[in-house]
Structure 1
Amino acid sequence: MNTWIAIAATVLGCYAVKLAGLLVPAGVLERSMVRRLAALLPVALLAALTAQQTFADGHALVLDARAAGLGAAALALVLRAPFLVVVGAAVLVTAGVRAIAG
């Protein structure tokens, strides 16, 4: 039963957040600071998620094959490679380092 209470609370919370976004006055959304924040916030959140998934393992910081894959992806981005090449480079380097490390 506790699972269904958690699901219902999550549904209500998501609905409340959506409703709050719809109720924000248009004048607030037109401010330059709000526009800048809306443009930069997704990039910051994605960077934080990438760093957390790459360098964390439970409660410890680690430096393993994932970091090498991220480095390969960063290099491919600097070289202006297409998105699929960036992802492929990250996958291949990560798999290669894991295979070598054993």
Structure 2
Amino acid sequence: MRGQLMWTAIILGTASVYLLKLAGLCVPASLLEKRQVQAVSALLPVALLAALVAVQTFTTDQRLVLDARALGFGVALVAALLRAPFLLVVALGAASAALARLWW
């Protein structure tokens, strides 16, 4: 029963994504060329990524938490604001989170 429910969800999800992509292809070019639509579509990935980072960093089991992930994010944010190379930003964030987990 559980496997059947999972496959039903997978098939429905796949069909939904395909239909959404098909609907996107049917949007008239005149609508896509509007300045407002282009501005929103340029900013949408950034907003979605920021929301994903916020949820993954500050929540656990639908609860708001401050733990080693938040510290790692803070260190990485400071490094990014200081214009450190991307690899260094990632390494500093990961190292600070790992040390905080080891310490706590």
The DSSP-based 3-state class of the residue aligned with 2:72 is helix
How far did residue 71 of structure 1 move? 0.5
1:41 is the counterpart of 2:44: yes
Unaligned runs of 5+ in 1: none
Per-residue deviation, 1:3: 1.9
For 2:100 and 2:9, locate their aligned partners in 1 and report how far apart those are by CA, in whole Å. Answer: 41
Q: CA deviation at 1:5?
A: 1.5
Over the residues paired in the alignment, what is the CA RMSD in angstroms? 0.8
Rounded Cα–Cα distance in structure 2 between residues aligned with 1:23 and 1:47 = 29
1:40-59 to structure 2, matched below 5 A, reads 40-59=43-62
> How far does residue 36 in structure 1 lie from its aligned partner after superposition?
0.6
User: For residue 76 of structure 1, what is the aligned residue in structure 2?
Assistant: 79
Choose the corresponding residue for 2:100, options 83, 86, 97. Answer: 97
Instruction: Please report how far the alpha carbon of residue 81 of structure 1 lies from its aligned counterpart in structure 2 after TM superposition.
Output: 1.1
Aligned-residue offset at 1:10? 1.0
Equivalent residue number for residue 67 of structure 2:
64
1:17 to 11, 15, 20: 20
Matched, 1:30 2:33: yes
Question: In 2, Cα distance between the equivalents of 1:29 and 1:56?
Answer: 36
TM-superposition CA deviations, 1:49-71 (whole Å, max 9, x none): 11111110112111111010001
Aligned letter for 2:22?
L
- CA shift for structure 1 position 24: 0.5
How high is the sequence identity, in percent, across the aligned residues?
50
Q: Which runs of 4+ in 1 moved over 3 A?
A: none
